[in-house]
Amino acid sequence: MSGMHGTETTAGPVLGDTPPEATSATGEAGDNAAGIAAVGRVARELMPETGVIADPTQLRTYECDGLAHYRVTPALVVLPETTEQLAAVVKACSEHGVPFVARGSGTGLSGGALPRADGVLLVTSRMRTIHEVRRADQRAIVEPGVINLDVTRAATPEGYYYAPDPSSQQICSIGGNLAENSGGAHCLKYGFTSNHVLGTELITPQGDVVQLGGLAPDSPGYDLLGTVVGSEGTLGIATTATVRLVRLPEEVRTLLVGFHTTDDAGAATSAIISAGVLPAAIEMMDALAIEAAEAAVHCNYPDGAGAVLVIELDGASAEVEHEYALVERFCQENGSFELRLATDAMERALIWRGRKSAFAAVGRISPDYIVQDGVIPRTALPEVLRAIAELSESSGVRVANVFHAGDGNLHPLVLFDGEKEGAGEAAEKVSGAILDLCITHGGAITGEHGVGVDKAAYMPKMFTDDDLDTMQLVRCAFDPGNISNPGKVFPTPRLCGEVPGKRKKAHPLVEAGLADAF
């Protein structure tokens, strides 16, 4: 369960040779062969040779996304350069009933871009044009393959930036962000991708191109855009995104605060928020996470800290000054023993480097680890952290905690050694138990990494059959043929009644006995 990282061997010993999900999520190699051949012909007619990959060795380079222990080799990979090409390939998929999966940079941590063995992988990495930076409108219009940080780079000369900043922002793409409703450290104050995407040109699963939203807010009609953002590629593929640009703040203050315990750091966080201060970010790391970060990037965090907070305040100078005084006081009142204020951009970058490299850094102290992503109400933080510590102690599985403390989004890193027998299973168990903790405390099973293939089985713990069925009414409206990233998000696909057009025989899932029509 959840982002598993480590050596190549992790996939084998821990989880065995078969993908953890039923073939309903991944498809069977060799299925849809005729349809895939037909889609390949359409693709080859439209784009250069390098844009269509069918060679088995090359196909294998696309077998996973950022969640590397789920691996499926796609039947065909297509790298379109234009909306027209992408739409034509999707239309061909629709005509032949071939499932497709869209992929941006492949950094996702829930297996959302895990390919289908019986389908086509549509990679947007050749669609990297920033069409416009419209300062007067505070918007940018970009293609889906554009790297998150490049939007900010393009806007900075105009005094603007793109606010959502997942830790992978140097490599992740806007299309992937849109699909996953990506967050980041600064969403405490600025919100998520869904708050910053104002419009998109979407290719529907039938291959039609539709415009949802645009430069202005409040488009008349249902807010389909709001539903598409975060739908994990199950409602179509975005070929442009119109995003909000945010004015660079007059002042930014980044603080690193050392505490003896996570309880103290949590209490300081609560005091800050209760006082009505809304920092741009409040991030927490515990002792084990600090140890890992030190080993990896020498970020020089305070010696002997049981927890650190990275707090960033931004806005108009006069406001930041006032907030800084409050934050300093609340930290001291709650037992901080060291408070450092970054005095220049380099110091700020160093503070953030420790935090943003934390996931990868854990590789320095453990051969393998699972990245968990769960959410709890912030006030439950001390209780849940203690419960995680107890879980860790009773199971003997080490857990490093890195999280967005301001909004209760936890990223426990569950450490294990895949070479040791049973270690992977034990880690999986702890990781799953942490999610259960989130659910019992009224939280969510994912705050920003998505459900993907990884957590689909957990959805029924958070939602009833009726909830999931109702969500899938939307899917049936967009994708009655269930070809757009099928097998992700929902544990059981809802069959949508009559599929307009092509399908003549029974739904393959019904045929395979994997689903009942209802």
Partner 1 sequence: MTTVDLDSARTALADACGEITDATPADAVDGVPAALVARPGSTEETAAVLRAAAAAGLTVVPRGQGTKLTWGRPPESADVVLDLSRMNRVLDHAAGDLIVDTEAGALLSDVQQTASSAGQRLALDEPIAGGTVGGMLATNASGPGRVAVGTARDLLIGVTVVRADGVVAKAGGRVVKNVAGYDLGKLVIGSFGTLVVVTRAVFRLHPVPAARRFVSVPFGTPEDASRLVQSVVHAQVVPAAVEVEWRVDGAGTVGVLLEGTPAGVEARTASTRQLLGDGASAAEDAPAGWGVLPWTEEPGSTGLKLTCALSGLAPVLTAARRAAEDAGIALTVRGSGGAGVLYAALGADAPVEALADVVTRTRAVCTEHGGSLVVLDGPPAVKTAVDTWGPVPAIDLMRRVKEQFDPERRLAPGRFVGGI
d(CA 336, CA 323): 17
Give 141-163 as a DSSP string: EE-TTSBHHHHHHHHGGGTEE--
Report the b/e string of 270-298 with b at 16+ CB within 10 A: bbbbeeebebbbbbbbbbbbbbbbbebbe
Closest of 111, 109, 113 to residue 100, by C-alpha: 113
182 or 366: CB nearest partner 1:
182
Minimum CB–partner distance for residue 94 and partner 1 (Å): 15
Considering beta carbons, is residue 13 or 214 the nearer one to partner 1? Answer: 214
d(CA 491, CA 73): 21
Separation of alpha carbons 379 and 385, rounded Å: 11
Nearest to 342 by CA among 401, 281, 413: 281
* Residue 377 vs 422, nearer CB to partner 1: 377
Residue for token pair 């119109």: 242
Q: How far is the CB of 162 from partner 1 (least distance, A)?
A: 16
Output 258 or 480, the one with its CB closest to partner 1.
Answer: 480
* Complex with partner 1: residue 170 or 317, whichever CB lies closer: 317
CA distance 474 to 247: 35
Rounded Cα gap, residues 11 and 16, in angstroms? 7
Least distance in Å: CB of 87 to partner 1?
A: 15
- DSSP-assigned letter for residue 391: H
Amino acid at 261: T
Taking the complex as a whole, how short is the minimal distance between the CB of residue 474 and partner 1, in angstroms? 5
Q: Shortest Cβ distance from residue 368 to partner 1 (Å)?
A: 25
Shortest CB 101 distance to partner 1, Å: 18
Closer CB to partner 1, residue 226 or residue 367?
226
**Least distance in Å: CB of 80 to partner 1?**
22
- The β-bridge partners of 132 are 141
Between 1 and 78, whose beta carbon lies closer to partner 1? 1
- DSSP H or E run through 23: helix 23-26
The minimum distance between CB 366 and partner 1, in angstroms, equals 26
3-state secondary structure of 98: coil
Beta strand segments in 260-321, E: 281-286, 307-315
Nearer Cβ to partner 1 (212/290): 212
